Structures are given as C-alpha cells and as structure tokens.
Amino acid sequence: MDALPQIGRFLYAIPMAGFGVLHFMMGDAMAGMVPLPGGVLWVYITGVALLAAATSIIVGKHAVLATRLLGLMLLIFATSIHLMALVGGDQAAMSNLLKDTALAGGAFILSGVLAGEEDSAAG
C-alpha cells in the first residue's frame, strides 16, 4: 500500500491547482469576498499561491513548506472570509467554512507525511 500516499498527494494537489486556475478565471466575482483593500489583486495572489503549492506537492520540491503554508492560508480563508460571512448571516458560507477547514487539516497531515518521508530518505 505504499502507493496510497503518492495517490493521495496527487488527489490533494490537483484540486488545489484547479482552485488556483479558478481564481484567475473568476477573479472579479471573487473580489467581493476579500476582506482587504485591493480585492482582485488578492484573488490573483492567492491563485498564484494555490498553483505554486500544487506544483510543489506534485514535483516534491519544498513540499513540506508548501503544505504548511497552504494549510495556514486555508485557515485564514476559513476564518476571515467564511466564518465572517456565516456570522454575518450567510448560512451558505457554512459549507465553504467546513471545506476550507478540512482542506487545511489535510494540508497539515500531508505536511507530516512528507516530513516523515524526508526524514526516512535522509537517515
């Protein structure tokens, strides 16, 4: 079953790349959710971050750092965008809050798996 972590790695990275592409395709529509000045610029920056994390995970270069930063970014999205929308009365925000929280957890788990692989390869 050594193939399962590899398969999981790709199954996690591919949707992140898809989310990154969507940030460019739907930047103007997403800009209204950004709680900072500069709306669409932040959407594009996070799109680049999602694509970079996905690439790093797939290629295996700096993947531990990438998954840790990705998890942090997803938690920031969950709290600053989706939780705030939920508190503001948008009940539909609950699914995005739960999705981003789960994806952050997955990123942190993947980070641990990848760090363990690096330790095994080094030792």
Question: Coil, helix or strand for 37?
Answer: coil
Give the residue-averaged pLDDT of 18-39. 92
Section 81-107 average pLDDT: 94
CB 89 within 8 A of CB 103: no
How would you class 108 by CB atoms within 10 Å of its CB: exposed for 0-12, middle for 13-18, buried for 19 or more? middle
Decide if pLDDT at 121 tops 90.
no
User: What's this model's pTM, rounded to 2 decimal places?
Assistant: 0.91
On the question of pLDDT at 9 being above 60, the answer is yes
Average pLDDT of the residues in 6-18? 95
For residues 43-75, one letter each, b for 16 or more C-beta atoms within 10 angstroms of the residue's C-beta and e for the rest, the string is: bbebbebbbbbbbbbbeeeebbebbbbbbebbb
In sign, the C-alpha dihedral spanning 11, 77, 98, 65 is: positive
Q: What pLDDT is stored for residue 123 in this prediction?
A: 67
pLDDT band at 35, cuts 50/70/90? confident
What does the alpha-carbon distance between residue 119 and residue 13 come to, in Å, rounded to a whole number?
A: 22
Under 8 Å between Cβ of 104 and 78:
yes
94: confidence class by pLDDT, cuts 50, 70, 90: very high
User: What confidence score (pLDDT) does residue 16 get?
Assistant: 97
CA-to-CA distance for 80 and 64, rounded, in angstroms?
A: 24
In the chain, where the domains are located: 3-122
Average pLDDT for residues 70-77, to the nearest whole number?
97
**111 closest CA partner among 62, 52, 42:** 62
- The SS3 of residue 48 is helix
| Average pLDDT of the chain, as a whole number | 93
